[in-house]
Amino acid sequence: MVNRYAPWRYILLILIIAVGVVYATPNLYGEDPAVQISHRVNLIDATELSRLRSLLDSENIAYRAIELDGSNLLVRFDSEDAQLRAASRIRDLLDGIDKRYSVALNLAPATPDWLTAINALPMYLGLDLRGGVHFLMEVDMESAITKSLERNAGELRSFMREEKIRYRGVQADTEKISIRFGDAAARDAARLVLEEEFRDFEFADLGDDRSYYIEVRFNRDALDEERRAAIEQNISTLKNRVNELGVAEPVIQRQGDSRVVVQLPGVQDTVRAKEILGATATLEFRLVHGSFNDWAEAAATGKAPIGARLYTQSDGSPVLLKRSVIVTGDQIVGAASGIDQQSGSPDVTITLNAKGADRMAKVTRDNIGKPMGVVFIEDKFEMREVEGELKRVRTTEAQVINVATIRDQLSKRFHITGLDSTREARDLALLLRAGALRAPMVIIEERTVGPSLGQENIDRGFLSVVVGFILVLVFMAVYYKVFGLVANLALTLNLVLMVAVLSLFQATLTLPGIAGIVLTVGMAVDANVLIFERIREELRLGNTPQAAIYAGYEKAFSTIFDANITTLIAAIVLFGFGTGPIKGFAVTLMIGIASSMFTAIFGTRAVINLIYGRRQVTRLAI
């Protein structure tokens, strides 16, 4: 019986080993504590790099390296302590020069350029290993209901105008919508029609001999649905925003009726994350009311005319816009920042859904030659002293970022300008593209998992892998001799290939993932044990060494395949139905099963064939 491999098999094995080693290597370099410097308006270039380097040197701020990272500046340090000390000094130094500089802590991969050039990057580490931030966020349900009532108030107005129902005013507040009528007959007639059309509301008559109202409130089922929709849309929006931030394997889960847990691995400085996650920025498009004189008069008196609202433009000047909203942020399905070809200023290209596009087309068609304003709305929370106690107070900031004359009928896709900087355009596009939060969210708990805790977990996980690996190596070498050494070589290759695949696909490694690697190390040798015991049995039956080797690999293959397939099915089920850490365990287990089968069957046989396949053998060291 001849045990030989064709040359192409050895070439294939060598190529796989080489690729595995290259893509596993970035994980040896680790990460450098770093400080990231950016500018809110200007992009940092080589000239700015040189100026900032001279500034840091003149202030005797010790650093390992300073380099450009896209449009930002990255300053690397030798330790977290040096990073934290330097970050505070750099922030104070730059604030004295230009308040528009932004300084953030970061962990920068220390991978050499020649590896990053071929996309050989270290694997991601989860929150329990790398460190990061944990947020507990609460949805402002009162605001969600209020916004929904405001939207429905607009629908009520439109419906009554279409049905030619006479009314005097529609007003929405935090709990209800009030519709005012001129007499009881008009009120009673309207109620009959409205109750038939709007089934999600409860209607009640109010008023006296001089005022006639219908009070409109959500019924219980509709109120519960509004709350459920608010938290589900917010979770979906948060996921989109986290994806835009580029955080690997975030955890975003609902907790209770109004809270959401967000975990972001690798985030050291929480400022940027909180800006994006908590922002409720959206846009509203409204027609302009009156002229400049009307705006100035409204600003002087503080009172807006009926049917209009007073806003402030980005330059501080007043402007009146009509109360009726053309399109809102939840009808925006796409947004991209860029540069306006005519003015050279930053702009954002907006794409609307079908309903928004139809509404925009109708309004702009009927108002060509008239001005339209774009309102940027943002809800913020801040701590204020109220009646001697610190309370979290929500404030809404609304600013008109653009007023332009409608030159043509607009539809699904158009541009907005009037933005101060490219960064503002990028941030606005990001928020609009990720979707508007249905209701504001406030961070009620924030925990930072420091790099030291992450490093301790890494060290313990690494120690468990090393101890398990060494024990298996010793057992195999003692018990199976030369064949055991070959199995140890395959086991080492298996570990390298697992790390390489995790790195190549930028998978996230967590503590359960390390548990999967440890389990795989133990399981990987099972295939070789089956093969080697089969070879021993063939030798006891009197077969020649070459025949025993051949029979050992051929007859044990089906058993090995069946055992690994059943484990693979279990791993797939864990991945499909599990969440978070369970998925991490399942991913490493699946990768380990595939690589262990390759190394234990193809890899070890290639080496055994190389040792024994080309000569006469009377006994085997097994």
Q: In whole angstroms, give the CA distance from residue 122 to residue 30.
A: 8
What pLDDT is recorded for position 384? 63
CB 126 within 8 A of CB 53: no
The yes-or-no verdict on residue 207 having pLDDT over 80 is no
pLDDT above 90: percentage of residues in the chain: 3
Residue that has been written with the tokens 């060509």 in this structure: 368
Q: In whole angstroms, give the CA distance from residue 532 to residue 480.
A: 8
Q: What is the mean pLDDT of residues 40-44?
A: 61
What pLDDT is recorded for position 134? 83
pLDDT above 70: percentage of residues in the chain: 86
CB 190 within 8 A of CB 205: no
User: For residue 327, how many other CB atoms are within 10 A of its CB?
Assistant: 22
Q: In whole angstroms, give the CA distance from residue 437 to residue 452.
A: 34
Residue that has been written with the tokens 């896209």 in this structure: 70
The yes-or-no verdict on residue 15 having pLDDT over 90 is yes
**For 298-347, how does the pLDDT look when each residue is reduced to its tens digit (9 = 90+)?**
888 888 888 888 998 877 889 999 888 888 776 777 777 778 777 777 87
**For 483-516, how does the pLDDT look when each residue is reduced to its tens digit (9 = 90+)?**
888 888 988 898 899 999 988 887 777 778 888 8
What pLDDT is recorded for position 359? 84
**For 123-175, how does the pLDDT look when each residue is reduced to its tens digit (9 = 90+)?**
877 777 777 788 888 888 888 888 788 878 878 887 888 888 888 888 888 78
The yes-or-no verdict on residue 517 having pLDDT over 60 is yes
Q: Where are the alpha helices (DSSP H) in 252-389?
A: 270-278, 292-301, 354-366
What pLDDT is recorded for position 22? 93
Region at 580 (left for phi over 0; alpha for psi -120 to 50; beta for the rest): left
The yes-or-no verdict on residue 456 having pLDDT over 80 is no
Pairing verdict, β 413-416 and 346-352: antiparallel
Burial per residue of 542-559, b for 16 or more beta-carbon CB atoms within 10 angstroms, e otherwise: ebebbbbbbbbbeebbee
pTM of the model: 0.59
The yes-or-no verdict on residue 195 having pLDDT over 80 is yes
The yes-or-no verdict on residue 81 having pLDDT over 70 is yes
What pLDDT is recorded for position 46? 79
What pLDDT is recorded for position 17? 92
**For 570-598, how does the pLDDT look when each residue is reduced to its tens digit (9 = 90+)?**
889 988 887 667 877 888 888 888 898 88
Instruction: Please provide the average confidence, as pLDDT, over all residues in the chain.
Output: 80
In sequence order, what DSSP letters do the residues of 231-278 get, joined into one string?
Answer: HHHHHHHHHHHHHHHT-SS-EEEEETTTEEEEEEET---HHHHHHHHH
C-alpha dihedral sign at 429, 434, 435, 436: negative
Name which residue leads in pLDDT, 511 or 217: 217
CB 528 within 8 A of CB 145: no
What pLDDT is recorded for position 410? 80
CA dist 94 → 56, 72, 426, 550 (Å): 10, 14, 23, 72
What domains, with CATH codes, occur in the chain?
A: 7-26+450-612 (1.20.1640.10), 32-110 (3.30.70.260), 141-223 (3.30.70), 280-448 (3.30.1360.200)
Which element (helix H / strand E) includes 12? helix 7-24
Q: What is the mean pLDDT of residues 397-416?
A: 79
Name which residue leads in pLDDT, 305 or 88: 305
The yes-or-no verdict on residue 369 having pLDDT over 90 is no
